[in-house]
């Protein structure tokens, strides 16, 4: 038996917004490559770890594209081929799930598992040598685990290889991103207590090949394309060959991305430098990368992380770089986007960060001058907390600049209201 495994394809995603259509094409490009590989490898089943699409920015044609690609897979293989997935956090919620656009009575080959399990109902697929069950994404998954344990155990009963799919970070297995609340993670010990032969994990965008923990085999296929510009890869799919004794041979096939993404760092190594020095160093990085793109003929995206110290206003760096790079990108069409991450430290700047336990009291005191508008301020803070949980970079824990801009605008509107009120 041969199984194709992939995850976090995010079809319809358009981050960064400045090149949204180009990035949308990149996710489709990766998805088509994955389907081509599964057809070439003549797989018997396909497992997807969740986040099939991007609910926040997908268009109807994205759903149509996915449906056509999955139909192409089944047509090229055989009618009995099955594609299993669970709902990821970017696929929507229990009540509003965009996978409903793909799953319908005609498409019997496509099975979304895990949401009924969250509601305490037995849900599985059994046949052709496998038993497949799963858990859909839940932001408070930990409190659901004990309630669903018995129904999961029932779902995994049967003859064949027992496969379980999840779309949450797994504690003691994944490198949990900073700021991830514990209530949204699944303890590895819980999963090991279940009768699972193979655990497939989505949500974590880095590839972790097949490994063994106790009696359970673990596989995190990672994303098929860089979800955030900081993601390094490699990105690809897995094929698993399983013999009659449930011995699994794993093979990772790397995909060829539509765009090359380069992450570089400009670091003063603790020295105090003027902003112009950082601008100059950033341009040198851009020139070196542009030469690399011209040699390959491939379009690319450059992300420059600036770290160090300055005795000037660190925020002035943003407009200084934007001014220079806007012209540079226009003159070098293969460089389709430049992203600056400004991590400079101003000399004399002292940040007092309260302990997490005191955060609420600290915020109340910090926002006390705005009076009754504090309720609106807390509402924005809650939105940011939720966005960080759902969309924060797995490497840095931060939001992309385009997403941060949305909240900056909300804060500015709130401050405008405060100014009007004071007048």
28 to 13, 111, 248, 296: CA distances (angstroms): 10, 21, 29, 22
The string of pLDDT tens digits covering residues 255-292 is 999 999 999 999 999 899 999 999 999 999 999 999 99
Q: How confident is the model at residue 25 (pLDDT cuts 50, 70, 90)?
A: very high
- Cβ contact 172:140 at 8 Å: no
Residues paired with 338 in a beta bridge = 302
Kindly list the distances between the CA atom of residue 185 and the CA atoms of 35, 144, 190, 204, 375, in Å, as whole numbers in the listed order: 30, 11, 11, 11, 29
Residues above pLDDT 90, as percent of the chain: 69
Q: Among 304, 306, 308, which residue's Cα sits nearest to residue 339? A: 304
Task: Return the SS3 of 115.
Answer: helix
Same domain, 52 and 134: yes
Predicted confidence (pLDDT) at residue 66 exceeds the cutoff of 60: yes
Whether residue 180 sits in one domain with residue 275:
no
Give per-residue burial for 134-166: e unless 16+ CB within 10 Å, then b: bbbbbeebbebbeebeebbeebbebebbbbbbb
- Pairing state between β 82-86 and 110-113: parallel
Q: Are residues 164 and 186 in the same domain?
A: yes
CB atoms under 10 Å from CB of 358, counted, come to 11
Angle at 402 between CA 398 and CA 408, to 5 degrees: 80
pTM given for the model: 0.82
Whether 374 has a pLDDT exceeding 80, the answer reads yes
Determine the Cα–Cα distance for residues 313 and 15; give it in Å rounded to an integer.
Answer: 28
Last residue of a domain, one of 324, 346, 368: 346
For 310, other C-beta atoms within 10 Å of its C-beta total 22
- pLDDT at residue 347 in the model: 85
Both 152 and 220 in one domain: the answer is yes
Alpha helix positions (H), 261-367? 275-296, 316-331, 359-366
Q: Looking at residues 332-356, what average pLDDT do you find?
A: 79
216 and 286 part of one domain: no
β-bridge partners, 248: 242
Say if 59 falls within a structural domain: yes
Q: What is the mean pLDDT of the chain?
A: 90
Q: In what order do the strands lie in the sheet with 2-6?
A: 110-113, 82-86, 45-48, 2-6, 236-242, 248-254
The CATH number for 101's domain is 3.60.21.10
For the record, the structure tokens of 368 come out as 């006390």
Strand bridging mode 198-201 / 161-166: parallel
**117 shares a domain with 85:** yes
Same domain, 248 and 264: no
How many structural domains is the chain composed of?
3
DSSP state of 371: G
Domain assignment present for 268: yes
Looking at residue 245, its pLDDT comes to 84
Query: Domain end: 254, 284, 303, which one?
Result: 254
**pLDDT of the residue at 353:** 52
Residues 165 and 71 in one domain: yes
Same domain, 145 and 108: yes
* Domain annotation covers residue 351: no
- The CB-based long-range contact list for 380-389 (8 Å cut-off, 24+ gap) reads 380/407, 380/410, 380/411, 380/414, 383/407, 383/410, 388/179, 389/139, 389/179, 389/180, 389/181, 389/184
User: Using one digit for the tens of pLDDT, what is the confidence trace for 296-305?
Assistant: 999 999 999 9
Phi (first) and psi of residue 74, to 5 degrees: -65, -40
Do residue 38 and residue 177 come from a single domain? yes
Residues 64 and 129 occupy one common structural domain:
yes
At residue 250, the pLDDT reads 96
In a domain, 378, yes or no: yes
Closest by CA position to 324, among listed 291, 271, 275, 274:
275
Three-state DSSP at 395 gives: coil
3 state DSSP class of 17: helix
Provide the 3-class DSSP secondary structure of residue 220: strand
Residue with tokens 């401050």, as numbered in its chain: 415
In the predicted model, what is the mean pLDDT of residues 199-226?
96
Angstrom distance (rounded) from CA 343 to CA 304: 10
Instruction: Name the helix (H) or strand (E) containing 346.
Output: strand 335-346
Highest-scoring range by mean pLDDT, 2-6, 109-113, 342-346: 2-6
The range of the structural domain enclosing residue 149 comes to: 2-254
Residue 286: which of 264, 267, 268 has the closest Cα? 264
Among 210, 179, 257, 203, smallest CA distance to 10 is for: 203
Same domain? 57 vs 6: yes
What whole-number distance in Å separates Cα of residue 138 and Cα of residue 302? 34
Domain end position, chosen among 282, 313, 346: 346
Residue 211: strand pairing partners: 218
């Amino acid at each position: 038996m041969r199984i194709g495994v992939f995850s976090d394809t995010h079809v319809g995603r358009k981050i960064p917004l400045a090149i949204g259509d180009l990035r949308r094409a990149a996710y489709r490009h990766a998805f088509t490559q994955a389907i081509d590989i599964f057809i070439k490898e003549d797989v018997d089943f396909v497992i997807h770890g969740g986040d099939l699409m991007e609910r926040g920015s997908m268009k109807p044609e994205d759903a149509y594209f996915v449906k056509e690609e999955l139909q192409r897979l089944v047509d090229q293989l055989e009618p009995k081929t099955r594609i299993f997935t669970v709902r990821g956090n970017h696929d929507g919620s229990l009540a509003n799930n965009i996978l409903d656009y793909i799953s319908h009575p005609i498409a019997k080959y496509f099975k979304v598992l895990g949401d009924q399990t969250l509601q305490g109902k037995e849900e599985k697929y059994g046949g052709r040598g496998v038993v497949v069950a799963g858990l859909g994404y839940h932001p408070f998954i930990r409190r659901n685990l004990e309630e669903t344990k018995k129904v999961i155990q029932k779902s995994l009963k049967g003859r064949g290889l027992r496969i379980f799919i999840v779309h949450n970070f797994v504690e003691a297995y994944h490198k949990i991103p900073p700021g991830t609340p514990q209530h949204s993670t699944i303890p590895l010990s819980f999963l090991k207590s279940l009768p699972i032969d193979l655990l497939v994990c989505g949500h974590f965008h880095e590839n972790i090949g097949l490994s063994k923990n106790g009696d359970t085999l673990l596989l995190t296929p990672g994303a098929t394309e860089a979800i955030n510009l900081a993601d390094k890869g490699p990105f690809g799919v897995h094929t698993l060959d399983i013999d009659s004794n449930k011995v699994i041979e794993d093979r990772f096939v790397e995909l060829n991305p539509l765009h090359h993404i380069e992450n570089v760092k400009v670091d003063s190594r603790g020295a105090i430098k003027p902003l112009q020095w950082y601008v100059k160093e950033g341009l040198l990085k851009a020139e070196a990368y542009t030469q690399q793109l011209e040699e390959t003929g491939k379009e690319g995206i450059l992300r420059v992380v600036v770290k160090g110290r300055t005795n000037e206003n660190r925020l002035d760096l943003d407009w200084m770089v934007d001014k220079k790079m806007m012209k540079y990108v226009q003159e070098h069409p293969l460089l389709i986007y430049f992203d600056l991450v400004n991590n400079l430290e101003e000399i004399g700047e002292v940040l007092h960060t309260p302990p997490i336990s005191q955060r609420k009291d600290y915020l109340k005191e910090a926002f006390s001058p705005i009076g009754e508008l504090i309720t609106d301020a807390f509402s924005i803070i809650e939105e940011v907390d939720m966005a960080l949980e759902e969309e924060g970079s797995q490497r840095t824990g931060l939001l992309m600049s385009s997403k941060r801009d949305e909240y900056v605008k909300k804060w500015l509107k709130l401050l405008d209201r405060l100014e009007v009120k004071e007048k």
